[in-house]
Amino acid sequence: MHNDIQEVLFTQEQIEAKVAEIGKQLSEEYEGRNPLIICILKGAFIFMADLVKQITVPVEMDFMAVSSYGTSTRSSGEVKIIKDLDSSVEGRDVLIVEDIIDSGLTLSYLVDVLQRRNVKSVKIATLFDKPARRTVDLKADISGFILPDAFVVGYGLDYAEKYRNLPYIGVLKPEVYSS
Ligand code: XMP
Ligand code: MG
């Protein structure tokens, strides 16, 4: 285990099993369709890469980057599109792939943006979810793991751009924040 990690919440094996389960569920849900899967950068890139390998229907992929956190651990409440989609979403079945939902601000903003672009449908698959922290009314269609109110890193998630490459998800030692 990495020296800065206090506790592993979900292991690499547990995450792998969950991602396979979500992939199966999505393959059934989108049977006969051709969804456009949108990865929210940067946090969701590992989940996206592992998930699409488990989806058996034909899919297209696109990537979007939004700002929410900077290097602090709390949302500013402001959402800005840093990198927009390359493709048109009009009339498409869109699946948003997100790493974690916290306040829900980021995704409620994005769902709004996509609906104004006249998508046919929009669903959300998040690997991690902290429902206790919602400040807006937003529910994911698929939530992999429910997390306690703790800041987590690994499997794509960072603290100050570090720890994204850890294959598990864990809680940092408090001294890492204060140093
Ligand atoms: P909101 O509050 O808009 O936030 O739902 C979603 C975004 O916040 C980031 N986030 C975290 N990042 N560990 C992280 O590394 C966490 O525990 C955490 N909680 C929220 C994340 O970027 C997500 O896209
Ligand atoms: Mg993020």
Q: List all residues 6 or more positions away from 24 whose beta carbon is below 8 Å from its beta carbon.
A: 54
Spatial contact of 126 and 140, defined as CB atoms under 8 Å apart: yes
Model pLDDT, residue 64: 97
Q: Are strands 142-146 and 121-129 parallel, antiparallel or unpaired?
A: parallel
Model pLDDT, residue 179: 67
What ipTM was predicted for this assembly? 0.93
Name the residue at shortest CA distance from atom 12 of ligand 1: 157
Hey, which residues are catalytic here? Answer: 102
| Ligand 1, residues at Cβ distance < 6 Å | 43, 68-69, 75, 98-106, 151-153, 157-158
Question: Closest ligand 1 atom to the C-alpha of 109?
Answer: 3
Q: How far is the CA of 58 from the centre of ligand 1 (A)?
A: 29
- What is the arithmetic mean of pLDDT over 49-58? 98
Spatial contact of 41 and 65, defined as CB atoms under 8 Å apart: yes
pTM, 2 dp: 0.94
Q: Is the pLDDT of residue 104 over 60?
A: yes
Place of tokens 């997100």: 98
pLDDT tens for each residue of 2-37: 999 999 999 999 999 999 999 999 999 999 999 999
Name the residue at shortest CA distance from atom 21 of ligand 1: 100
Angle, alpha carbons 174-175-176 (nearest 5°):
90
Spatial contact of 171 and 10, defined as CB atoms under 8 Å apart: no
- What is the arithmetic mean of pLDDT over 26-51? 98
- At residue 117 the predicted structure's pLDDT band, cuts being 50, 70 and 90, is very high
Q: How far is the CA of 99 from the centre of ligand 1 (A)?
A: 8
Q: Where are the alpha helices (DSSP H) in the chain?
A: 12-29, 45-52, 105-116, 174-178
Fold of 13-150: Rossmann fold (3.40.50)
Q: How far is the CA of 101 from the centre of ligand 1 (A)?
A: 6
Name the residue at shortest CA distance from atom 23 of ligand 1: 100
Contacts 24+ apart (CB under 8 A), 145-152: 145/9, 145/10, 145/18, 145/169, 147/9, 147/100, 150/9, 151/73, 152/9, 152/100, 152/128
Q: Is the pLDDT of residue 71 over 60?
A: no
Spatial contact of 146 and 126, defined as CB atoms under 8 Å apart: no
- What is the arithmetic mean of pLDDT over 107-130? 96
Model pLDDT, residue 75: 60
- At residue 178 the predicted structure's pLDDT band, cuts being 50, 70 and 90, is confident
